Amino acid sequence: MGRLSGKTAVITGAASGIGRASAILFAKEGANLVIADKAEAVNDTAKLVTDAGGKAVALVGDAGEEAFVESLVARAVKDFGGLDVCWANAGVSGGWTAFDEQDAAFWAEILRINLIGAFLAVKHASRVMIPAGKGSIICTASVAGIRSGAGGSPYSASKAGVINLAQTAANEFYGTGVRVNAICPGLIETGMTQPIFDGARARGNEDKIGQLNPLTRGGVPIEIANAALFLASDEASYVNGHAIVVDGGLSSSHPVVRRKR
What's the pTM? 0.93
**Which domain, by its residues, includes 184?**
8-248
Determine whether 238 is an active site residue: no
Residue 32 is assigned to a structural domain of this protein: yes
DSSP-H helix ranges across 114-220 = 117-132, 153-172, 194-203
Q: What would the DSSP string read from start to end of 83-125? A: -SEEEE------TT--GGG--HHHHHHHHIIIIIHHHHHHHHH
- Distance CA(105)–CA(186), nearest Å, equals 27
Are 165 and 119 a contacting pair, CB within 8 Å?
yes
Instruction: Assess if residue 3 is contained within a domain.
Output: no
Report helix angle 153-172 to 117-132, nearest 10. Answer: 20
Q: Given this model, what pLDDT does residue 38 score?
A: 97
Give the span between the Cα atoms of 191 and 193, in whole angstroms.
6
Predicted pLDDT at 193: 66
* DSSP-based three-state secondary structure for 135: strand
Query: What backbone torsions phi and psi does residue 214 show, to the nearest 5 degrees?
Result: -60, -20
CA distance 250 to 186: 7
Running DSSP on this structure, what letter comes out for residue 213?
S
From the list 26, 80, 87, 155, the catalytic residue is 155
Residue 257, domain member (yes or no)? no
The pLDDT of residue 95 is 83
CA-to-CA separations, 48 to 26, 52, 244, in angstroms, rounded: 12, 6, 28
Q: Which residues of the chain have a pLDDT value below 50?
A: none
Predicted pLDDT at 212? 82
pLDDT over 90, % of the chain = 80
pLDDT of residue 197: 65
Is the separation of the CB atoms in 134 and 84 below 8 Å?
A: yes
- In the Cβ-directed half-sphere of 182, how many Cα atoms lie within 13 Å? 31
Predicted confidence at residue 211, as pLDDT, reads: 81
The verdict on residue 164 lying in a domain is yes
Say if residues 136 and 236 touch (Cβ distance below 8 Å). yes
Residue 183 phi/psi, 5-degree rounding, is -120, 135
Q: How far is it, in rounded angstroms, from Cα 156 to Cα 153?
A: 5
Can you say how many angstroms the Cα of residue 37 is from the centroid of all Cα atoms in its chain?
A: 12
Question: Does residue 151 contact residue 91 with C-beta atoms inside 8 Å?
Answer: no
Q: How many domains does the chain have?
A: 1
Residue 10 DSSP class: E
- Amino acid type, 55: K
- Is 170 domain-assigned? yes
Residues facing residue 9 across a β-bridge: 33, 85
CATH number of 168's domain:
3.40.50.720
Query: Are the C-beta atoms of 105 and 99 separated by less than 8 Å?
Result: no
Total Cβ atoms within 10 A of residue 81: 9
Residue 39 domain-assigned?
Answer: yes
CA–CA dist 27, 75 (Å, integer): 17
